[in-house]
Amino acid sequence: MTNLANYIVPIFVLGIILYAFHKKVNIYESFLIGAKEGLVTTFKIAPAVIAMVFATNLFLNSHFLEFLFSYFNPFLTHFGIPISVLPMALVRPISGTASLAIMTNIFADYGPDSFVGRLASNLQGCTDTTIYVLALYFGSIKVTKTKHALQAGLFADFVGILAAFLITFLFFG
Amino acid sequence: MVTYIWVFFVVIGSFFTIFTGNISSLNNQILKGGSDGLKLLFDMLPLLVLWTGIMQIAEDSKLLELFSKLVRPVLSKLFPSLPKDHPAIGYIASNIAANALGLGSAATPFGLKAMECLQEDNPQKDTATEAMITFLVLNTGGVTIIPTTVIALRMMYQSSNPTEIIITSVLATLISNISGLLFDYVKRRKNHD
């Protein structure tokens, strides 16, 4: 499967270039114009990225979530769920790298084929970093009034996390 | 809204770090806090430049337009406020496709470009349009059909069946996305009344 996935990007890129060549587009010129735009975009998103990474790191490094969840520990062990998987569920909408790190730890401690290993795999796949994406995308075009975007995104995350728990129980429990 | 989250993260993070007696670590983090974000930006920069360059080729050769036409029947139902030939559609579709294939790093440039296109005919530049919100709900839900990173990590830790989680995680992500879209739909209907 991953072998097959390795072909996707090269085929995509080659397809675009060959098609453009066939259509007699000035390929190099087009690339440079687009690339310059990418450079401008990077500068536009810089403040939002730096601000968001700073705040998330401060929050995650304070280990506040672990503290919060230490109270749920007896309840969780009753169901055989290690404590680290709940912070992972909460961290998932905030930081992709942080949740990936927790997942890697779970794989190392319990193995990817354990119940928690599968649960962590599904949690990682069920949603994306909502808060970061919102800050980044709206920040890049300077939209500050985001209406119900955050509520909708977090609602989807919440349902996704619940679904990941239930589905893992149903399929692998 | 993002403001509240940012303030919440900084305030709770700071207070709790002080409370647990790590004032020196907090001091350090505040003074050096920008460098992690900068590192991420530097990682993103070559990807953004490369992908926006390649997508410009696709745009100039009208390949992107062709692709938009293909996905338009589906997307115009999700984005009723967008005109049928809106330039953002091609980028929205590319972003969804890249996300679906687990190519998160390629998805971001398409997504940012889509937002730029949507912003162009936004009458109130500081307020999100309906299409923007629907797009972000789709994007943050992240319909991943092939979770490449997860599979690679499962392989690394010697899983006997690294791909067994594909179906279950697709199921979970679909449920998540549909609920997000429904939430958005209901809110939108309320605003119209």
Interface probe for B, chosen from A6, A7, A53 (most Cβ of B below 10 Å), is A53
pLDDT score, position B102: 66
Residues 67-106 of B with CB under 8 A from A: 99, 101-104, 106
Residues in chain B, total:
193
> Where are the domains positioned within chain A?
45-172
ipTM: 0.84
Q: Which amino acid is at A101?
A: A
Q: Which residue has the higher pLDDT, B84 or B92?
A: B92
pLDDT tens-place string over residues A52-88 = 889 988 988 888 888 887 777 777 777 666 666 887 8
pTM listed for this prediction: 0.83
Contacts of A150 in chain B (CB under 8 A): 1-2, 5
3-state secondary structure at position A145: strand
- Nearest-angstrom CA–CA distance, A110 and A118: 10
Q: H-type helices in A62-148, by residue range?
A: 64-69, 73-78, 85-91, 96-110, 115-126, 130-140
- Nearest-angstrom CA–CA distance, A60 and B4: 17
pLDDT score, position A98: 82
Contact B13 A55 (CB under 8 A): yes
Q: Is B59 on the interface with A (CB under 8 A)?
A: yes
Contact A124 B149 (CB under 8 A): yes
Contacts of B90 in chain A (CB under 8 A): none
pLDDT tens-place string over residues A97-138 = 788 888 888 898 889 999 889 999 999 888 788 888 898 899
Closest CB to B168: pick one of A23, A42, A168.
Answer: A168
Asked if B88 contacts B82 with a C-beta cutoff of 8 angstroms, the reply is yes
Closest CB to B150: pick one of A51, A124, A155.
Answer: A124
Distance in Å, alpha carbon of A105 to nearest chain B alpha carbon: 10
pLDDT score, position A125: 81
Asked if A123 contacts B126 with a C-beta cutoff of 8 angstroms, the reply is no
Burial B19-44 (b: 16+ CB within 10 A, else e): eeebeeebeebeeebeebbeebbeeb
Work out the number of other CB atoms within 10 angstroms of the CB of residue A138. 25
Q: A42 to chain B: nearest residue by CA?
A: B45
